[in-house]
Amino acid sequence: MKDKLLGFSFKYGAILVIIAVFIFFSSVNEYFLTYDNIADILRSISIVTLVAIGVTFSLIVDGFDLSVGSTVSLTTVVVATLMVWFELPLWTVIIIPILLGASIGLFNSFLIVKVRIPDLLATLGTMYIVSGLHRTYTKGYSIYNEMPLADGTTASGSFSESFLFIGQGRILGIPVPVILMVLSVIVVHIFLNYTRWGRLLYITGGNKEAARLSGIKVNQVRMIAYVLSGVFAAIGGILFAARVGSGQIDSGAPLLMEAVAAVFVGFSVLGAGKPNVIGTFFGAVLIGVLLNGLTMMNLPYYSFEIIKGTVLILALSVTFIHLRRKA
């Protein structure tokens, strides 16, 4: 009976918690379950979900990318400077940060695969390097329209309307970031579950030595996972800049823990027991609903970290207790 209860909570617990949270906040605030508020929740988790997808890729190959938050910060300010300082066209503003994110992923994979530094330590070092780079690049300033420059002049560039539409616009009443998030989740789900490369990622993460003996190029597969992690973090940075209309330094710092929490909550969604993009999305929804509901209840913002930490601990507890029993 105890094992059945634990198995049920592992498989359906996260979804039941989301439903319970929805019911609770709906009962205490009449405006919670409105279209505008639900759209705001989904828009608020869009960036976290994209960053969490990157973390999901690294966890699938039995790694861990701690540099995604710094990558978001760097790409956000790079996007802003490309428009405000250099007045470059939109396609350049999109491509360069994505290439930058891929480069950070390549650097991580070099440290992990060639230098053989453990994933956690390698990406921790990269996190500090990238964090220092983005502060050095901007000299510690946020980037915004008509900002004063070091030579005493004013920046002549500005955020274009077409770029801001990516983060602030709507299509048929649906926020563009929500559309991008849903499309990303669908595409990644198909990639991971219905393509050869997706299966190779899971096989490599399950047992690297067995994968190597079966002819899989393990190092190449791990490199791909970290490049994808960097790319999705960069897309999150682009979306962040488009949403707020400026390049905020350290904008990605809070996103790391939220992304990690979303991924680990996702382990238990429908009993997956492994990193998966659908679970990651539901994990992001749970965190987004909690933060939105607590904000509407006027709880102090500094208490939110307690909630996020508690959610992460509960998710990890249920997941690892179940996995130990299953083993």
Q: How is residue 303 annotated by DSSP? A: G
Q: How is residue 140 annotated by DSSP? A: T
Q: Which of 168, 134, 177, 149 is nearest to 245 (CA)?
A: 168
The pLDDT, as a whole number, for residue 240 is 96
Q: Where are the domains of the chain?
A: 2-326
pLDDT digits (tens, 9 = 90+) for 77-101: 999 999 999 999 999 999 999 999 9
Q: Per-residue pLDDT averaged across 294-321, rounded?
A: 78
* 89 compared with 315, residue with greater pLDDT: 89
Note the CATH architecture for domain 2-326: Orthogonal Bundle (1.10)
Q: Per-residue pLDDT averaged across 269-273, rounded?
A: 67
The tokens for 248 are: 């905020």
pLDDT > 60? residue 281: yes
pLDDT digits (tens, 9 = 90+) for 170-206: 999 999 999 999 999 999 999 999 999 999 999 999 8
211 close to 204: Cβ distance less than 8 angstroms? yes
pTM confidence score = 0.93
pLDDT digits (tens, 9 = 90+) for 25-67: 899 888 888 999 999 999 999 999 999 999 999 999 999 999 9
Q: Which of 129, 111, 90 is nearest to 226 (CA)?
A: 111
Instruction: Provide φ and ψ at 216, rounded to 5°.
Output: -80, 135
pLDDT band per the 50, 70, 90 thresholds, residue 9: low
Q: Which of 63, 101, 84 is nearest to 248 (CA)?
A: 84
67 close to 123: Cβ distance less than 8 angstroms? yes
* Cα(97)–Cα(255) distance, integer angstroms: 18
Quick one: which H or E segment has residue 171?
strand 170-171
The pLDDT, as a whole number, for residue 326 is 60
pLDDT digits (tens, 9 = 90+) for 67-76: 999 999 999 9
* 3-state secondary structure string across 215-253: CCCHHHHHHHHHHHHHHHHHHHHHHHHHHHCCECCCCCH
